[in-house]
Amino acid sequence: MKRILHRLPLAVAAAMLLAAAPAYAYSTCNGERASPATNYSTSFAVTNRSSSAVDLYWLDFQGQRTYYATINPGSRHWQQTYYGHIWVVTTLNGDCLIAFVGPSEHQEFDVY
């Protein structure tokens, strides 16, 4: 199954930035929370169809972003993960574009 992920409208991203905890210098995603401890291995791939590079982060067991990859425009990144783990795609400045959960089976995501 392929899912298309769109960037947040600027007004929504700005509102999220203003609502974020003072410790954050970037906007967080809805659903940005700690990944659960699971042992069911799975995978996903993200294709960057936008005109800008994006960063991929895993949210660790404390909910902190852990950098995994920069995905250049037109590039695809395959990632092993665990079912239920939380992942975030951001701008290079750390502003949230989308958050998603590690799927039960391999899934393809497009970022525009």
Question: CATH code at 8?
Answer: 2.60.40.780
**Token pair 């497009």: residue:** 110
pTM: 0.76
Assess whether pLDDT exceeds 70 at residue 12. no
Q: Which of 9-23, 24-38, 48-62, 66-80 has the lowest mean pLDDT?
A: 9-23
Residue 13 has pLDDT above 70, yes or no: no
Q: Looking at residue 30, what is its pLDDT?
A: 75
Higher local confidence (pLDDT), 50 or 22: 50
Closest CA to 107 of 60, 48, 43, 50: 43
Range of the domain at 12: 2-111
Task: Return d(Cα 28, Cα 17) in angstroms, integer.
Answer: 7
| Tally of structural domains, the chain | 1
* Spatial separation of the C-alpha atoms in residues 73 and 76, rounded to whole Å: 9
DSSP bridge pairs for 84: none
